[in-house]
């Protein structure tokens, strides 16, 4: 949870222009200390995860809306795929035991926690695709503005 959610949020802030060293520090520190919520409350992990996912989704969508139009379809497709994989990751991680009870043939060899790693990997892939599309469109806009100068 720490590097993926925190770094995607920081990258979106950097690209979108809403970034400074203190926001990076705040996001990373909050991410590290969020693990302490597990010790303070029974649902601390779920709360922390929800806050991270919500923050990243908001920043990523805000960055998408502020980006040039040329890669809008690639960005939107990558965004929704990343969010879908994130939902899959959370569901498989949190429903590990109930899934094993309901579907013992499917989840006896490879648990829901194991399958969540596949969703996690795909989430990283689509997040990188999203960031790459934004950077590509930003680069194209800056190159076009240099031609006009």
In a domain, 147, yes or no: no
29: helix, coil or strand? helix
Burial bucket for residue 131 (CB in 10 Å: 0-12, 13-18, 19+): buried
At 19 the pLDDT is: 63
Alpha helices in 34-111 (DSSP H): 37-40, 44-66, 72-94, 96-102, 104-107
At 25 the pLDDT is: 78
For residues 2-9, give the mean pLDDT: 68
Domain hosting residue 103, numbered range: 2-137
In a domain, 143, yes or no: no
DSSP state of 36: G
Residue 90 has pLDDT above 70, yes or no: yes
In a domain, 16, yes or no: yes
In a domain, 144, yes or no: no
Residue 1 has pLDDT above 50, yes or no: no
pLDDT tens across 71-85, in order? 889 999 999 999 999
Residue 71 near residue 132 (C-beta atoms within 8 A): no
In a domain, 146, yes or no: no
For residues 97-108, give the mean pLDDT: 87
The reported pTM is 0.80
Nearest to 16 by CA among 65, 53, 57, 51: 65
Q: How many structural domains compose the chain?
A: 1
In a domain, 145, yes or no: no
In a domain, 6, yes or no: yes
Residue 122 has pLDDT above 90, yes or no: yes
């Amino acid at each position: 949870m720490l590097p993926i959610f925190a770094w995607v949020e920081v990258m979106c802030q950097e690209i979108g222009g809403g970034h400074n060293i203190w926001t990076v520090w705040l996001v990373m520190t909050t991410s590290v200390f969020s693990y302490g919520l597990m010790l303070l409350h029974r649902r601390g992990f779920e709360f922390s995860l929800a806050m991270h996912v919500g923050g990243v989704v908001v920043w990523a969508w805000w960055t998408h809306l502020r980006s040039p139009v040329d890669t809008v379809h690639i960005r939107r497709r990558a965004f929704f795929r990343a969010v879908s994989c994130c939902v899959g990751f959370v569901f498989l991680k949190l429903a590990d035991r109930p899934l094993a009870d309901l579907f013992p043939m499917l989840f006896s060899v490879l648990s829901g926690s194991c399958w969540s790693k596949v969703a996690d990997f795909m989430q990283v892939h689509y997040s990188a695709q999203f960031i790459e599309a934004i950077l590509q469109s930003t680069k194209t806009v800056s190159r076009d503005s240099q031609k006009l100068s």
